[in-house]
Structure formats: structure tokens, C-alpha cells
Structure 1
Amino acid sequence: MLAYIIRRVLISIPVLIGSTILVFIMVKLSGDPLEGIKLRNPPPPPATIKLEEHRLGLDQSWPLQYWDWLKGLVLHGNFGQAVQPTENIGADIGSHLWVTVRLVFFSVLIALILAIITGVVSAIRQYSVTDYTATFFGFLFLSMPVFWFAVLLKEAGIWFNRSTGTKTFFTIGDKSPYLPSDTAWAHISDVAGHMVLPTIVLGLAGYAGWTRFTRASMLEVLNSDHVRLARAKGLRSRKVLIRHALRNALIPLTTVTALDIAALLGGAILTEQVFQWNGMGTLFVKALQQKDAHMMMGWLLVSATIVIVFNLIADILYGILDPRIRHA
């Protein structure tokens, strides 16, 4: 297992480097990051522009710019110079990443719990009212774009707050700028309150596809020979369902969940924009607007690493869910 993990990590390194090269070229082709400075009226002195170009490495060739960025990242953990001289790319990614990670984590957790429960119940009670109801809501949330659902839910929260004269749902920001008390519980409850609506949006977006996948996988396993044999041996229905059916049905769901993490990160960008969260989505949009190649490459490097790690975790879980699977 250890050799397999090391091999997967080594294979992931060229993937990460290749993705950063592609993003670097795309950002470079998008325009000049110093365009805003050059278009000022009155224009800045040429010496000022020369200093900014030297600070950002724009006075060098593209291969040399990329090599300097990669060397600084590997040797010193430096993500490079930001277009705005007052910003630190590493610190910005760290602070924004925590905001997005907690949103995606709880969204995935809620989506998996709902998908497994409804998928299993739908498979057991196939073609029943419960199955049709779960199917309807699954297709409903699957057909709704994430940004559209986020806007609807935000407007619903605003309408409810106005109708009741309360502040039940937080619709702006990932936390309140000012709190009546500075206790730990006040901060935790405030952050949790701001997470309710965005978590529902991302959670239901993931749940929609996963519940259909769980249902199909459970139906296939329930009709397999080893489940019929377990029932013929007189095992209890709950034991057959959990140990023999559900455990095997979770293997393909693990693959789909790991692969959909990338889609959820993309959905988090849109959701954060709707609810005005200061997460990785905001950082992504800011890097695009500023044509900041170093910030975009840092953003992609972190996002791609998360996707690779989740896929590695999925491969490891295969051996736990099914002992017959061995990683050579």
C-alpha cells in the first residue's frame, strides 16, 4: 500500500506541473497585468513601470518567468509576487482556502448522508411512492444550475427575514464584521449561521447525482448472487443489507464522490460569489480581473492538489470496503 501511495504521488507531480504551465500560458495570453497602471491619467513615469515589470519578472522571457516561479515555490514555498504589491499570495490562499474548505467539507458530508439514505431506501422500496418521490427531487436538484439555485435560496432567505422581522438567515458574507460579544461561542454560532444557505446549495447539488448513483448501485448489488446466498443462509435482513449489499455498493459511489470534488469546487466559486463569501472563489475572480499569473497558478496548484488527494483517498478506501482489492 505504501509503495502504491508513493507511486501515485510521484505520478501526480507532472500533472500539477503541466496544469500550472497551461494556466501560466493562458493568463499570459489574456493581457498585460500592468494595463491598469499604464492607462492612468496622468500616466506614471516610465521608471515606475520599469520597476513594476522587474518586480513581477515581466522583463524576462516566459520560460524564465515560469522557472523562477517554480524554483521559488519548491525551494522557499514562495508563490511569487502579486500584481498588487501589498498582497501576499501565500497568505491570501491560506485564508481564503479555509473559508472554502469548511463549506465544501460540510456540503460533501451532508450530500453523502442524504444520498446514501435516500438511495438505499429507494432501492429497497423500488417503484414505491418513496422511490418516485426521491427520484423526483433528485432530478429536480440535478436540473437546477448551482448559481440559479443559490440566487433563489438567497432571495428566499431575504424574504423570510423581512416577513418575520428577524435575522434568521445570513445571506451576505462568511461571517459578521461585528459581533455583540467576543466569546468563542459567539464566533462559532456566527460562522455556522452564515454557512447554512451556501451549504444547502452545494450539498443538494452533490446529493442530486449521488443519490441516483447509490440507488442504481444498490439495485445491482441486491440482485447479485452473493446477496441471495446470504439471504438463503438465514442471515438477518439488516446484516445482509449493511455488510453484504451496502458495503459493495459504496465502492463505485466512492469513485464518483472523489471525481465530483472538482465539480463542487467549481460550484463553490459560483456559490461564494452569490453569497459574497471571501473564499477561493473570490480569489479566483480577483486573479482573473488582475491577470495575475502567479496568483492563478497558486490557486490552481492548491485546487488540483485537493482533487488528487481525494482521488488517492478513494483508492485507499477501495481496499477497506472490499478486502479483495489489493494495490500492487
Structure 2
Amino acid sequence: MVTFIVRRIIAGFFIVLGASFIAYMLTSFAGNPLESALNISNPTARQQRIRYVTDALNLDQPRIVRYWEWLKGIGGCFVGKCNFGNYTAPGTTGSVNDNLGNYLGVSLKLVSSATVLAIFLGITIGIVTALRQYSGFDYAVTFMTFLFFSLPVFWVGILLKDLVAIKFNNFVQQPAGPTFTLTWMLIIALFFGLVSFSLLRGGFLRRLGIAALVALVFGLLTWYVSASHWLLDPGFGIVVIAVLAIAIAFGITTLTAGVGNRRALYSALTTAVIGIAMYYPVLIFVRDDMSFLKLLMLLAIAVVVGIVVGYAFGGDDRGLNARTGAFTAFGVAVIIFIDRSMLAWKTYSQLTFNRPLATIGSSTPNLKGDFWIGVNDTFSHLLLPTITLMLISLAGHSRYARASMLEVLNQDYIRTARAKGLTERTVVMRHAFRNALIPMTTIVAFDIGGLLGGAVLTETVFGWRSLGYMFQQGLTNFDVNPVMAVFLVTAIVAVLFNMVADIAYGFLDPRIRVTSS
């Protein structure tokens, strides 16, 4: 495996090198970087500008020499002295290095959040539609995924700004408070009722009864949110946290071991109860002087507690119990984190003049507040760009996951597993799901590079100062240095994640690991 990784690193180096040469040549032929300087009326200023741009881009040298000079600056990264060149666009000065780190962090924050959500939701939807093939849910999802896949990124972003952010901000500012009409309550209730009806199996009357119950529950929840003006001051509270924690325990156990495995179920339930009991102490602990490092520490402690509880229940498969407890602990920690973040939503909304959903920029200028205000600000600015990128890639992930799962379910070893009398959960989760993920690793690796490129349009629509802004400004002014900086980052990320995908094959399929070794 080590030899395989080394070979891939060497191959990736030469791929990036060759791609950078092609990109540099194409960018240098795209236009004249002296165009803006030639339009300056003052002769002295014009000559100074021409000399500055010429020196910065080595325009008095052949293109191959310019590329070599740029490459020498990039080669300095191996000794900790990166040099991506200087800006030459009108109104810009300084080194590209000065902004690249900050811009890269902003873009990666957006791309990572969109990628994680797209992978999780896409694979989940794809697997469910494969298991419910040719059902109403399958047809509806197929229609929606093809619709999202065909929509331009910039158009989706503009639409979300109007229909989600602006409409929501106006909604919460109503004199009577954010109140749903009876029509909207019925629409929301019927929507979730139809979704549950299409997902369920069994007789028509059984499915109809459960769907009606789900519709009633969501109808009552919508009425409560409207009557209590919950959107102005949201929060779960200990009762909802307890219900969600128990539901997570049962859900995780169903997926990992099955509720018939009592030791795994008790591990999950015990972990959930510990999480419920720690709700108020955690809120007190994170109230003041909170930081991202402390948040990671609490999450790690929660996962360790889940693992310890799983091992404490013993049995023949302590590892399975430990995984069940760890996943449950992670889920309970996430909902407690969401609840604590929502407790600061009212204050954050007041600081943003009761227009909490942002439509432009990656952060609110001059915003003052604690860690939780910052969390809400990050969520507010990430929400729409993340949904925009996620909807486009979600379509591809769900379709590939569905096709991969259907192919695996038709394999001989799956029919053998069913013939041996294994439960459907065991067949799907232990035999089919893992093998269905193998083709998805390639799709995800390619999609990350595509998302980083697609983020250029998304960041432009939402006015983010990030890699997209740097790339756009560079192209507009024929400034090769920022364009190549963005290209190099995108190329390295694409090659790196393709290598990670190849390594992941070995963990998903031991035959590949043995062959690569």
C-alpha cells in the first residue's frame, strides 16, 4: 500500500505540472495584460504602469520563460517560501500570497459543507430509492434530481436569494410575527404525509394510516411554530432533546446491528440517556469562553463515552456495540450543539436588524458577539451558497448511488445471503451497502474538484471575497498570477482527492488492497 501511495503521489505531481503548463499558456494568450495601462491618459503614469506590469509578469520574456519564472516561485513552497507573484490588475497591489490563504479558507469552508451534505443526503436518497424502486417516492426523486441537475448554478443562487432569504426575512418581520396561514399548514402536513406514504411498505390501509398520523404530527408542529413565534426565538429544550436522543439511539441501532441485538440497543440507549443527563451541565460549560477547540474536545469526549459504554456491555461483538455507542454519542452531541446555537439566534437576529438570513458576503462586517453569535453568522452566510452547490451535486450523487445499489442487489452473493435466511437489514447494510460505495468514491473525488470550480459562480452570485473573486478578477484583467494560483489550488485538491479515493478502495474492498500491495 505504501508503494502504491508513493506511485500515485509521483504521478499526481507530473499531472499537476503538465496541467499548469497548459493552463499558463492558455491564460497568457487570453488577452493583453497591458490593455488597461495603455488607456491611461497621463504619459508618465502610463509608462510607470506599463513598466510595473511588464516586470511583474515578465512580459519582456518569451512565454516559456515566464512559465519557468512562475514555476520557480511555486517551487519555493517546498522550502516554505511560496511566491505566487504580484497582482497587476488596476487598483490592486501586493502579492497574491497575501490573499490566497484567507480566500482559500473561505472557499474550502463553503465547498466542504456542500460536499458533506451532498454526499450524505445523495447516498441516503440513492439507497432509499433503490430499495423502493419504481415507487412513487422513486419517481418523485428521479424527477427532482434531473430538474436540479439541469439548472444553472447562478440561476439557482439568485432564485434562493429571493425565495428563501428575502422572503424569510420579510416573513419574520411581520407586525403579527411569523405566522403560517391555514393553507400553508395543510400544504406542509400533506407534503410530509405523501413522503411517508411513498416510503412505507405494506398494505394500502396501513400505509395510509401511518401517513395520516405523520401529516397530523407535522400539521400540529407547524401550528405550534406559528402560534409560539418559534422562528423568532428557536430552541429544542430538554424534552425535545430527550425524544430526539432516544430516536437517534433506535435509528443507529437499526442501521448498525438491528434492534434485536439487545446489547447494541442498550449501549445506544445508555449513551443517549447520558447525553440527556449532561444537557444542562454542557450548556453551563459552553456558556462562556467557548472556542472551536473546546467544541472538538467535547465531541471527542462524547464519542469516547459512547465507545466505553459499548465495550462495557460486552458480548460477542464488543466492537459493534462500541460503534453503535459512538455513532449515537455523535448524533446526540450534534443536536445539543444545534440547540445551543439556536439559543443565540434571537440575539444574532437583533444584531442584523431582524434580517438574519444573509444574501451577500461570507460574514457580517463589524459584527460583535461571542462564539455562538459567530456560529449563527457563519450558518447564515453559508446556508444559501451551500444549498446552491449541494442541489447541483446532490442530483449526481443520488443517481449514481441508486444505480450502484441496484447493481449490487442483483449480484449472486446477495441472493445467496437472502437464501441463507439473513434479515433484509443485514443483507442491505452488511453486504450490499459497503460494495455499493466503491463506485461512489470515484464520483465523490471528481465532484469535489468540480464543486471548487463551480463555487466560482456561486461565490460571485453571493458576493463572497474568496477564490472565485480572485479568479474572476484575474480573468477580467488578464492577470495570470491570481488565475494560476486558483488553478493550482483546484488541481492539487482534485489530484489529492482522487488519490484518497484510490486508497479508500482498499478499505472498502480487501481484494483491491491485496492487489495494490
Structure-2 residue corresponding to 1:59: 60
2:252 is the alignment partner of 1:245 = no
Query: Where does the alignment leave 5 or more consecutive residues of structure 2 unmatched?
Result: 174-353
Q: Distance in 1 between matches of 2:141 and 2:460?
A: 30
1:298 aligns with 485
Name 1:6's counterpart in structure 2: 6
CA contact (8 A) 1:23 1:296 kept: no
User: Once the two structures are superposed, what CA deviation does each residue of 1:120-166 show, in whole Å capped at 9, x if it has no partner?
Assistant: 11111111122122212212211211111111111112133234324
Q: Does 1:175 align with 2:352?
A: no
Question: What does 1:137-176 align with in structure 2 at a 5 Å threshold?
Answer: 137-156=144-163, 157-165=165-173, 166-176=354-364
Partner of 2:415: 228
d(CA) in 1 for partners of 2:408 and 2:51?
A: 66
* 1:40 counterpart letter in structure 2: I
In 2: Cα distance, 1:228 partner to 1:2 partner:
36
Among 302, 307, 312, the alignment partner of 2:499 is 312
The CA deviation string for residues 26-45 of structure 1, in whole angstroms up to 9 with x for no partner, is 22222232322221122335
CA RMSD of aligned residues (A): 1.7
The secondary structure found in structure 2 opposite 1:325 is helix
Q: Distance in 2 between matches of 1:37 and 1:231?
A: 73
Paired AA for residue 481 in structure 2: H
Paired residue for 2:87? 82
Q: Which residue of 2 aligns with 1:280?
A: 467
Higher-Rg structure is 2
- Matched with 1:199 is 386
Partner of 2:287: none
Bigger relative contact order (CA 8 A; separation at least 6): 1
TM-score, structure 1 normalization: 0.94
Tell me, yes or no, if structure 1 residue 134 matches structure 2 residue 124. no
Q: Structure 2: which amino acid aligns with 1:129? A: G
Separation in 1, partners of 2:20, 2:44: 32
Q: Which amino acid aligns with 2:101?
A: G
Structure 1 equivalent of residue 106 of structure 2? 99
- Measured after TM superposition, the shift of residue 228 of structure 1 is 1.1
Q: From the superposition, tell whether residues 184 and 168 of structure 1 become closer, same or farther in structure 2 (CA, over 3 Å).
A: closer
Deviations 1:224-278 (A, max 9, x none): 1111111122222212111100100011111111112222122211111111111
CA contact (8 A) 1:56 1:82 kept: no
Q: Which moved more, 1:31-40 or 1:268-277?
A: 31-40
Cα distance, 1:146–1:52 mapped onto 2, change above 3 Å: closer
C-alpha contact 2:106 2:466 (8 A) present in aligned 1: yes
What is the CA distance between 1:51 and its match in structure 2?
4.7
Residue of structure 2 in register with 1:264 after alignment? 451
2:399 corresponding residue in structure 1? 212
Bigger CA drift: 307-316 or 59-68?
Answer: 59-68
C-alpha separation between the residues in 2 aligned to 1:172 and 1:277?
Answer: 7
* Count of residue pairs the alignment pairs up: 327
Deviations 1:179-227 (A, max 9, x none): 1x34222222211211011111111111111111111111111111111
TM-score, structure 2 length as denominator? 0.61
How far apart in 1 are the matches of 2:131 and 2:428? 9
Deviations 1:292-313 (A, max 9, x none): 1122112111110000011011
Structure 1 pair 55–217 and aligned structure 2 pair: CA distance change class (3 A): closer
